[in-house]
Amino acid sequence: MPFSSLPRPVAEAIAERGYETPTPVQAQVIAAEAHDRDLLVSAQTGSGKTVAYGLAIANTLLQGAETLPRPGEPLALIIAPTRELALQVERELQWLYAKLGARVTSCVGGMNVRVEQRALSHGCHIVVGTPGRLKDHLERGTLQPGSLRAVILDEADEMLDLGFREDLEEILDLTPPERRTLLFSATMPKPIAMLAKRYQRDALRIETTSAREAHADIDYRAMAVAPADIQHAVVNVLRFHEAKGAMVFCATRENVRRLSATLTERGFAAVTLSGELSQNERNHALQALRDRRARVCVATDVAARGIDLPGLELVIHAELPIGPDVLQHRSGRTGRAGKKGTCVIITPYQRRRHAERLLRAANVNATWENVPTPDEIYAKDQDRLVESLSIGEVSEEDLEVARKLLETRSAEEIAAAFVRTQRQRLPAPEDLIDASPMARGEREQTTRDEGPRPGFEDTVWFRMNVGRAANADARWLMPLLCRRGHITKREIGAIRIFQTETRFEVPRAVADKFIDALKRTEGEADGVIIEPAGDAPTPPPAQLRDRRGPPPRAQLSARGPGRPDGPPRGPRGPGGPGRGPGGPGGPKRFGAKPYKSGGRKPS
């Protein structure tokens, strides 16, 4: 029996839960060499760590007895970085120790502290909490650590990243020196090693995964899209997979709110999870996902660690994570406990190389593919519909209704009506701008000869209604054109700035896509109108030239070093110095600008 070394009530609870064989980390923590020792454990997310340390301390809590003593001062203390993880641990330990009659109490920020005080005063066996709230109870005297036999630090690296080092040290300093200390961490950086050296005695090192090993149960896919199409790409990925549960990650609370509103408007049952929500709101969101009232959770990185949602089959990175560790922890919400999952990374095509570097750093081999098209989604819907038509037991009432329908309509009409009804229940997919390199007209530049640049032999000219009178400057015109037209600076040729207007050229191969993108981003216009201009511009009459400015035919090539007479001064209007109309970068749009870590709001 794989769990034969465990106390009988715990082994029975494991069997009733459906566990047949332990996961690698569970097998090692209950092995003979780990008995009654401090443990320093690293294992990938979704490997069953919570049950693992529950099994590891079972004999420690009983100390040879068949049952636990009456509830009093706690025997075990489990410290977790987030409220969600602490409450999840509480639920896991409740069923694991149910047959032993264990009383498990949680102490987490955001919950009613008086309720927690009453629970502690009535006695318990195990306390699960977050560092700040546990420290608060210790200072109040409502949590007595003198009887602790085991202390567990779950996701220790995350707690140090969140700045809980001093709180952890104060808590550990108050616990009995003879206690067992079990430290679980996904990674083992130097601060974790120092913490283990100070608070553990002859700890057994257990490592069930190599550094940044890719999760074998997750199918990684990556997609490059036009910046303004990120939300549309999320819609189509959700529709293509139709997962029982999906989690979509954004970098900021604002983008969580915006994307959640978009998905809800499209007909998805979506909830949000971010640091601005109260604990009660977060609990309701998670419960809605567990009982299938919601199928999509839009979250910041606050949800990237520890949360286990049964049936979560799909994870979408709507914005790139800040590092490989966050990528793995986000992705690890799916593919848990031996189940398969899919992870989709969506990136603006300008940041594809950054995404590739991130994937390499995380040791992830992702398949690059296009966003599912509406035709592909409808074909997938048809396959799912056919598969769902499994005829089981049919009641006589159902057959009676079917006979009446066949009397008035043909079988083909009835089937068509059924298909239409099924389609109306599903959100409509989106048409996306083709962001593939071929569609954007990207060509490798192999020579630097005189004459037009490769790819600019045949161009289309456009005009903008801003010129030197508005302090137009290629330094802010270039980003504006890339943002509005979903092109790169390599796809912009000559820029000619005149007194009241500016003209520029783009390859004819991307002109139609450029015009289509302009129509879709006209909400970002801020008074700047971009329209086709016909033939190449000619210099304006001399009397209309700005005597104080540079020559009217001053131009900047996308590959050139700059204008010959030097750049003009920036505008002094609402945009501020050196920027164009509408201020720095124009209005904020989801996914329109690359994420910069220095400006990120806390989750």
CA dihedral 188, 190, 193, 197 (to 10 degrees): 180
- CATH superfamily placement of domain 218-375: P-loop containing nucleotide triphosphate hydrolases (3.40.50.300)
Whole-number pLDDT of residue 429: 84
Cα–Cα dist 300/603, whole Å: 6
The pLDDT-based confidence of 173 (bands split at 50, 70, 90) is very high
Common-topology check for domains 8-207 and 218-375: yes
Q: How many CB atoms lie within 10 A of CB 283?
A: 16
More confident residue, 188 or 125: 125
Question: pLDDT tens-digit profile of 100-130?
Answer: 999 999 999 878 899 999 999 999 999 999 9
Is residue 598's pLDDT more than 80? no
The pLDDT-based confidence of 552 (bands split at 50, 70, 90) is very low
Q: What percent of the chain has pLDDT over 90?
A: 30
Helix locations, 253-311, DSSP H = 253-266, 279-290
Is residue 450's pLDDT more than 50? no
DSSP helix/strand/coil, 514: helix
Cβ-defined contacts of 494-497 (< 8 Å, 24+): 494/555, 494/556, 494/557, 495/555, 495/556, 496/537, 496/552, 496/553, 496/554, 496/555, 497/467, 497/468, 497/472, 497/473, 497/550, 497/552, 497/554, 497/555, 497/568
> In 3D, which of 173, 166, 148, 130 has the Cα closest to residue 74?
148
Is residue 477's pLDDT more than 60? yes
| Residue boundaries of the structural domains of the chain | 8-207, 218-375, 459-597
Give me the architecture of the 8-207 domain, per CATH.
3-Layer(aba) Sandwich (3.40)
DSSP helix/strand/coil, 270: strand
Question: pLDDT tens-digit profile of 244-257?
Answer: 889 999 988 899 99
Cα–Cα dist 571/580, whole Å: 7
Q: How many CB atoms lie within 10 A of CB 263?
A: 24
Whole-number pLDDT of residue 586: 41
